[in-house]
Amino acid sequence: MSFPNHNDRHAWTTRLLNADNDLAEDLSVSPPLHQSVNYAVLSEEHLDEISGPLGSHYYTRRGNPTGARLAKVVADLEGAETGMVFASGMGAIATTLMAFLKSGDHVVGQKNHYIGITEMIDRILPDYGVEQSRVDQRSVDAFAAAIRPNTKLIVLESPSNPLMHVTDLKAVCDIARARGIVTLCDNTLATPINQRPIELGVDIVMHSVTKYIGGHHDLLAGCIVSSRPLVEKVWNLSMVTGAIAAPFNSWLALRGIRTLELRVRQQNRNALAIAERLEHHPAVLKVFYPGLPTHAQHRLAAEQMSGFGGLLTFDLKGGYGAGQSFIQKLRLARHASSLGGVSSTLVQPATLFGGRLPSKLVEEQGITPGLIRFAAGIENTEDLVADIEQALG
Ligand SMILES: Cc1ncc(COP(=O)(O)O)c(C=O)c1O
């Protein structure tokens, strides 16, 4: 017995609340937390049934009912057949890269990615014999030119963290598909509310669930969604490498995802209001937000996104010191590394990444000393803008 199936024509929040109805076997309105690692085997046939790829009722490293429900809701939102969950966004991306690349293969990435992904492609994979190229994501031709006979995977992120560059997802995926190359897109910053890469031709979508999907600064998780054969390929590695999401984190993320649309709409509104206010502020050199008509890639962003997201970056005229002073004076937003939660957070990427990364990468990423990455929460828009204005003096 389960709840009736949702109707695909429903709007996002209705889908978010009902996409996993067929898994609600006990009819509990709030999903149970399946903390058990082991599930009893009744017979040989039963073992086959529960332990296969993406099986969720045998041993939690191979899958877990609470994680499977979360994956189902994300897959539904992204328009994918199925999905699986990981211990973190990096767990998801690292496992997927390893599943699709072996020694002698070539991967194309972007110059701008979340820094952990840049490090994976630039520093870790070459140690395992994988060749890599990273290109300026703003140029479709640069992707085409980077492809080699041994290219197996193209890794995309749009908009990218932290400078909000945009990739023409459809154009790059058309090129990749014509050559039989798999595409993987990090959709963390956009969220499926604002952008659905699978509809644009992407093969695999990944999320740091830690960010907007979880949404409350209280869990670490990741996920991928795609067609069943591609997810099974990743599962085959993951059941050995074991970076699976803890059931409790999946449960928290399931609770968080129900309000994703409501939160993201407010975060879109807040980020746009801040970007508009800062664009002409005397203390600000430049604002990076694809929702601004003055953003060089605004037209492309407007074509492939239905909202521009809650993250924006701006460069302060006073450089590093001005950034530090701005952070200290803020009363609402917190100086903290993550993004996508209900309360606003911000970082100065020069401090976050600068000490840890080779200067070549910092420069290449366009990280200047006065840069601030601001992740708008769901606070009242006027309160947030007023706080930023008082902190800028
Ligand atoms: C765009 C993006 N992708 C991936 C990650 C990595 O996710 P996690 O911290 O959950 O491993 C992050 C983290 O900040 C991110 O911002």
Taking only the tens place, the pLDDT of each residue in 313-327 is 999 999 999 999 999
pLDDT digits (tens, 9 = 90+) for 21-76: 999 888 999 999 999 999 999 999 999 999 999 989 999 999 999 999 999 999 99
Q: Residue 343: what residue type?
A: S
What is the CB neighbour count within 10 angstroms for residue 351?
14
Among 128-137, 173-182, 338-347, 364-373, the least confident range: 364-373
pLDDT score of 363:
74
Ligand 1 centroid from CA 33, angstroms? 25
What is the reported pTM?
A: 0.96
Please check the confidence at residue 149 and state whether its pLDDT lies above 60: yes
Beta-strand pair 151-157/334-335: unpaired
What pLDDT score was predicted for residue 25? 83
Supply the pLDDT for residue 365.
78
Which residue has the least CA distance to atom 9 on ligand 1?
Answer: 89
Which residues are tagged catalytic? 61, 114, 186, 211
Does the C-beta of 352 come closer than 6 Å to ligand 1?
Answer: no
At which residue do the structure tokens 């828009």 appear? 381
Q: Which amino acid is at 246?
A: A
Q: How confident is the model at residue 4 (pLDDT cuts 50, 70, 90)?
A: low
pLDDT above 80 for 364: no
Percent of the chain having pLDDT more than 70? 96
46 contacts: CB under 8 Å, gap ≥ 6: none
Q: How far is the CA of 2 from the centre of ligand 1 (A)?
A: 34
Q: Is pLDDT at 8 greater than 70 in this prediction?
A: no
Mean of the pLDDT values across residues 233-250? 97
Instruction: Locate 339 and state its tokens.
Output: 């993004």
- Give yes or no for residue 187 CB within 6 A of ligand 1: no
Domains, the chain, ranges and CATH?
12-257 (3.40.640.10), 260-392 (3.90.1150.10)
pLDDT tens for each residue of 105-131: 999 999 999 999 999 999 999 999 999
What burial letters (b/e) apply to 138-158, b meaning 16+ CB within 10 Å? bebebbbebbeeebbbbbbbb
Ligand 1 site, residue 186, Cβ cutoff 6 A? yes
Confidence of residue 7 (pLDDT cuts 50, 70, 90): low
Give the single-character DSSP code of 52.
S
How many angstroms is it from 208 CA to the middle of ligand 1? 5
Picking from 77, 76, 44, 70, the residue whose alpha carbon sits closest to that of residue 56 is: 70
Of 348, 327, 330, the C-alpha closest to 387 is: 330
pLDDT band at 355 (very low <50, low <70, confident <90, very high): low
Q: Whose alpha carbon is nearest atom 14 of ligand 1?
A: 338
Which residue is listed with tokens 């009902």?
18
